Structure 1
Amino acid sequence: MSATTEAAPSARTGRKVYSAKERGQKLAQIETLIGGGATLKSAVKQAGISEQTYYLWKKATAPAADSDELKDLVALEEENKRLRSLLADRLRKENAELKKRLGLN
């Protein structure tokens, strides 16, 4: 099923076809309603779609978020590695200085 830019009933099935923008708006509306304390069932009913459609749309939009999250995760891991290295260097220097002061070297 291909997404069209207009929200007109499909000639074959009689169902409404939503554009990507409309899908995003419906998903945002549902998330807002759920955040306000509504149940998923009542939120999708209020938005005028089925629960199955909600899950399909949500799944279809998830990979874009996952790729952004993956980029963030990689960046955080690199920063973590860099900070661990800096901490290890500082601890080695501090340890050497303490040994020198105590005459253990």
Structure 2
Amino acid sequence: MADLKETEANQAAAEVSAKEQIPDTKEVMPKTRKRTGQRAGAVRTGAAKSAPQASSSKAVASPTVRTARKIYSETERAQKLGAIEKQIGQGESIRTAVQKAGISEQTYYQWKKTARHTKQSDELKDLVKLEEENARLKKLLADRLRNENAELRKKLGLA
């Protein structure tokens, strides 16, 4: 009986090793992948591969080096905008004034646009406050006029 179990185990092992030796056709065929970042028909040559390296060496040699982006607070923005406007008022060009401030022209125009919107919202808040105060003063005036009118009627004996 033990011999029978050993022969069955040997046969099972032989079948497993035989399956491992026969390649499965589905696993042999590699899947085709789409190219990313290139057109399907484009073929990259050795010269094309070396071109970005040459341009990157030029970028390193240029005097303007790109630094990390700095995030300015609202007060810093307002100070820089004020300094730029002051320089522009003295006859300096926008480009040079912005370069002296250390920001780009696009940043300057974006900040200017947002500052204009905040000024408008501040003006709107001021207008609402004035309207509320105006309504309060109207009520106060109406109460005083009613009191004076009541006193005059008493003096004249009309009421």
Give the structure-1-normalised TM-score. Answer: 0.54
CA distance in 2, matches of 1:32, 1:102: 67
2:90 aligned to which of 38, 48, 57: 38
Q: Which runs of 5+ in 2 are unaligned?
A: 1-64, 100-104
CA drift of 1:53 comes to 7.5
Question: Mapping of 1:1-105 within 5 angstroms?
Answer: 9=66, 20=72, 23-33=77-87, 38-39=90-91, 42=92, 44=94, 47-48=97-98, 57-105=111-159
Rg: which structure is higher?
Answer: 2
CA contact under 8 A between 1:27 and 1:58: conserved in structure 2? yes
CA contact under 8 A between 2:77 and 2:111: conserved in structure 1? yes
- What is the aligned length? 88
Post-superposition, which runs of at least 4 consecutive aligned residues in structure 1 deviate over 6 A?
A: none
Tell me: CA distance 1:28–1:43, structure 2 relative to 1, closer, same or farther (3 Å): farther
Measured against aligned partners, the alpha-carbon deviations of 1:42-80 in whole angstroms (never above 9, x if no partner) come to 36355146x997655422221122223322321221121
Bigger RCO of structures 1 and 2 (CA < 8 A, at least 6 apart)? 1
Tell me: CA distance 1:18–1:57, structure 2 relative to 1, closer, same or farther (3 Å): farther
- Sequence identity, in percent? 56
Report what 1:5 is aligned to. none
CA contact under 8 A between 2:84 and 2:97: conserved in structure 1? yes
CA distance in 2, matches of 1:43, 1:80: 45
Q: Which runs of 5+ in 1 are unaligned?
A: 1-7, 11-16
CA distance in 2, matches of 1:27, 1:70: 22
Give the structure-2-normalised TM-score. Answer: 0.40
Q: What amino acid sits opposite 1:44 in the alignment?
A: I
Measured against aligned partners, the alpha-carbon deviations of 1:5-55 in whole angstroms (never above 9, x if no partner) come to xxx659xxxxxx885457544311134457xx635xx36355146x99765
